[in-house]
Structure 1
Amino acid sequence: MAVDTVFGRWLSRQSVPSRPPSLDAMMASGRAREGLLDLAKRGDRGIFVHLPLWFLIAIWTELWAQHPLFCVINALIFGANAIARLMLRQRFGALVERDYRSARNVFLALLLANCVHWGVLTGLAMHFTALRNAEVPLLFASVGVGCSGALGLAISPFVRLWYPACVLGPIAVALLTEPTPLHTLLALMSMVLVAYLYKASRIVHDDYWAAADARFDLEERARQLELLSVTDALTQIHNRLYFEHRLVAEWSRASRDAKPLSVLIVDLDHFKVINDTYGHPFGDRCLVAAAKALRDALHRTGDVLARYGGEEFAVLLPGADALAARGVAERLLHSVSEVQLTHDAQAVHLACSIGVSTLVPAPQSSPSSAVSRADKALYQAKQQGRNRVVIAPA
């Protein structure tokens, strides 16, 4: 059951029997995408905070009654930002996959726009007497927004610095427009707070990415183990276990869709003689060369090649009828015959026999019947003189 579960997960991610792309490249790009998606998820909690907080401050300080147009304009700005972020979040995963850099830039622009907005509002309240009633609440709200963002979104070094800076920067500028000793002190304290938040949030940042690195390392190791478990160590093509699981999956699909499926069993001719004459190390060279020749002769991405055992190889051709399967088998036969090897300056030629089985799976039939039919056809090919293709009767 555990093996079936592991292979089920692994097979669901596979579409071709070729070698996977660079694991380092996959992990590097995956790490960045996952970090951005996690950052966006953490930022979701703030989408619905800013507008209600602004309403609370505007109404409680009677700013709404005194300056309704000013309050409505700012409410619309907060609301537009929230709507834009919600719309972005609905398609964010797809945007990140398609254009990581653009998705990141748009997300950060919308995220930091609220910070700048709070900072400007607080600066205006400090600078204009008509807004002084809201000065202290706005200051508390701005500092709270800056601190929560710096710590809650600390997984991004950029956000760690610029989230509090975009809130407190406009406040410091507003204070310095009237450079009294108190205002200068408060402006300096704002910058100190930005620096402190950046330093303090480093712990959150480092802990998050240390855990992420450990998780990615485990995932990479798990993937490597899965690949090893379905890869033949000598020929570096898939092994029998992988072939049998793919056969079951393709058999079920062909039965459901009433489509043909072909199985080929390939056996190197006189391989025991080669082993006995030239030794097992050279026999291994022959197997590697034959596997490469067979792999190069398969042109469809969905076809499966596996080492089935000893000098036998198995080929799975989903959707291939008898005519197409014969064509592939003839191509495989020719490809193996083209292999050129030498042993102590002596040329060694390879040849193979191939048995082909093609059928449309019946609902209650067994996948092993296709292999059995191909095996019998292979036996006939051997009996008829080897180096040939034999098709199992329909």
Structure 2
Amino acid sequence: MFNLPECNNEIIINAMQELERRAFISAFIYLPCWLIIALNNQDDVFIQETFYSISFFFLTILIFHIILHYRFSQLLEHNFHRARLFLAILIIIPCLMLGSICSWCIYLHIIYTITVPFIIITAVLCTATSLLLTIDPIYKIMVPLAMILPALTAVLVENSSENLIFLPLASLNILYIIRSSQLKYRDYWQALITFSYFKQKSITLENMAFTDFLTQKPNRLHADKQLSILWDQAKAQQQCIAWMMIDIDNFKNINDTYGHPFGDICLMLVADALDSYSQKVNGFFARYGGEEFVFIKVCRSGTEIHQLAQGLMQQSSKTRICHDDVTINITYSIGVSSLCPHMTSQNLNDLIVQADLALYIAKHEGKNQYRCYCETQDYIEQQMKTPSPNAACCSIENKQGNSCSPAS
């Protein structure tokens, strides 16, 4: 009867934390309610004899609530059932105390002046607490019984005409609270489970949208998003961002000679090798499309960029694969570009275009190598035999903001 719905632990933990937050707020209500009524009825003997003890009781409950509030998450992880029991005790005991005070007021006619306020406050708190804490089925029954049952007992013992009016009203109140709590309990858990389901589906769909199906590495969409993030990071840190376009050499021949399934194996092998290196240097690696991959990283200097490109090239030793007793060495070419966002008016598209141009030169000059965009400027100058107006664009200090210096 008091078991929580069957669902994953994360949902239940979140629900119990929400329950504790609600109970923590309600814990501040009992003491002020008692003080207001007691201070306005200071001449009553009952108030005079019990004021300090009842005030101390409600204050103690409040202190324990505060302590539990800051340790509840740890207690849930360590011992869920004990945490649930402690919280139930702290909630139900003050409810029982308030109900007992109300019943005592009904029983003692000499303090009739505070009977009506206590009945009203008890009924309101009982209803509010029950509906607020219906996350746990314990409270939808125990709270109404703890608050109203003592008063009903007093009515039955002292069955005056005034008290008999209270009996049907209290009974209807209990039935209403229990029924309403059941509905809110059902609605809360259905909404929570549904929300959790769609949240998990959303995460799954997002992962599918940002992951390449074949290699299970980030895809182009993820790379474009990450590039924008790293661009802003480089700008804020006044550093440079490197974009390296990687293309497998002669991949069409591999597909035509050995078949597309073998080509897929080659793609996965290259992706695993390059991604492993990327993780070691805290870079970002993704499959950009077809046989092209991309590596992105925020760097401090052109020297670091060259070291990263050389490290990527060295991973080709891990991309040897055997087919029909023939060992095939899979090589790739890399086009490198870099910009310093805080020093240039160029944008992300310029960074990608420059890497494409550098990759084209690496392919044209024999493949299985890397070329920086700054080096392509010299290449273009030699081909066209005309001076380039952007010859100095590769220096990290220049106004255009390129950071990739020629390799020595």
Indicate whether the TM-score tops 0.5. Answer: yes
Shift of 1:272: 0.9
| Contact residue 336 and residue 371 of structure 2 kept, 8 A | yes
Query: What corresponds to 1:22 in structure 2?
Result: none
Query: What corresponds to 1:78 in structure 2?
Result: 58
Amino acid at match of 2:337: S
- Name segments (4+ residues, structure 1) moved above 6 Å: 86-89, 102-106, 126-133, 169-176, 189-196
Amino acid at match of 2:263: G
- Rounded Cα–Cα distance in structure 2 between residues aligned with 1:322 and 1:130: 91
Deviating more after overlay: 256-265 vs 383-392: 383-392
| Contact residue 46 and residue 111 of structure 2 kept, 8 A | no
SS of the aligned residue for 2:279 comes to coil
Shift of 1:271: 0.6
| Contact residue 242 and residue 297 of structure 2 kept, 8 A | yes
Q: Deviations over 1:249-298 (max 9, x none)?
A: 21122122211222211111111110111122221221122212221222
1:98/1:129 Cα in 2 relative to 1: closer, same or farther (>3 Å)?
A: closer
Amino acid at match of 2:254: I
Structure 2, unpaired ranges of 5+:
1-6, 160-165, 375-404
Shift of 1:159: 3.0
Amino acid at match of 1:222: S
1:390/1:103 Cα in 2 relative to 1: closer, same or farther (>3 Å)?
A: farther
- Alignment of 1:365 onto 2:353: no
Query: What corresponds to 1:374 in structure 2?
Result: 355
1:355/1:51 Cα in 2 relative to 1: closer, same or farther (>3 Å)?
A: same
1:344/1:64 Cα in 2 relative to 1: closer, same or farther (>3 Å)?
A: farther
Deviating more after overlay: 304-313 vs 57-66: 57-66
- Rounded Cα–Cα distance in structure 1 between residues aligned with 2:316 and 2:155: 82
- Alignment of 1:159 onto 2:139: yes
SS of the aligned residue for 2:215 comes to coil
Shift of 1:113: 4.3
Deviating more after overlay: 309-318 vs 363-372: 363-372
Structure 1, unpaired ranges of 5+:
1-26, 181-185
Query: What corresponds to 2:241 in structure 1?
Result: 261
Query: What corresponds to 2:31 in structure 1?
Result: 51
- Alignment of 1:389 onto 2:356: no
SS of the aligned residue for 1:299 comes to helix
Query: What corresponds to 1:12 in structure 2?
Result: none
Shift of 1:38: 3.9
Structure number with the bigger relative contact order (C-alpha 8 A, sep ≥ 6) is 1
| Contact residue 332 and residue 367 of structure 2 kept, 8 A | yes
After TM superposition, the structure 1 = structure 2 runs for residues 100-249 of structure 1, keeping only pairs within 5 Å, are 108=88, 110-122=90-102, 134=114, 138=118, 141-167=121-147, 198=178, 201-249=181-229
Deviating more after overlay: 199-208 vs 267-276: 199-208
Shift of 1:166: 4.2
| Contact residue 256 and residue 363 of structure 1 kept, 8 A | no
User: Under a length normalisation based on structure 2, what TM-score does the superposition of the two structures give?
Assistant: 0.70
Match of 2:329 among 330, 346, 349: 349
User: Under a length normalisation based on structure 1, what TM-score does the superposition of the two structures give?
Assistant: 0.73
Shift of 1:171: 6.5
Deviating more after overlay: 328-337 vs 350-359: 328-337
Amino acid at match of 2:265: R
Q: Deviations over 1:135-192 (max 9, x none)?
A: 665455445433432233212223334433543577689999x899xxxxx99x9999
- Rounded Cα–Cα distance in structure 1 between residues aligned with 2:330 and 2:181: 65
| Contact residue 269 and residue 352 of structure 1 kept, 8 A | yes
- Rounded Cα–Cα distance in structure 1 between residues aligned with 2:369 and 2:236: 33
Query: What corresponds to 2:12 in structure 1?
Result: 32
1:227/1:46 Cα in 2 relative to 1: closer, same or farther (>3 Å)?
A: same
SS of the aligned residue for 2:321 comes to strand
Q: Deviations over 1:84-136 (max 9, x none)?
A: 757877x69xx648965598676555434432331443465578898777566
Q: Deviations over 1:325-350 (max 9, x none)?
A: 33333333333431343434543331
| Contact residue 298 and residue 328 of structure 1 kept, 8 A | no
Amino acid at match of 1:305: F
Shift of 1:311: 0.6
SS of the aligned residue for 1:298 comes to helix
- Larger CA Rg, structure 1 vs 2: 2
SS of the aligned residue for 1:214 comes to helix
1:169/1:334 Cα in 2 relative to 1: closer, same or farther (>3 Å)?
A: farther
Amino acid at match of 1:214: T
SS of the aligned residue for 1:305 comes to strand
After TM superposition, the structure 1 = structure 2 runs for residues 3-14 of structure 1, keeping only pairs within 5 Å, are none
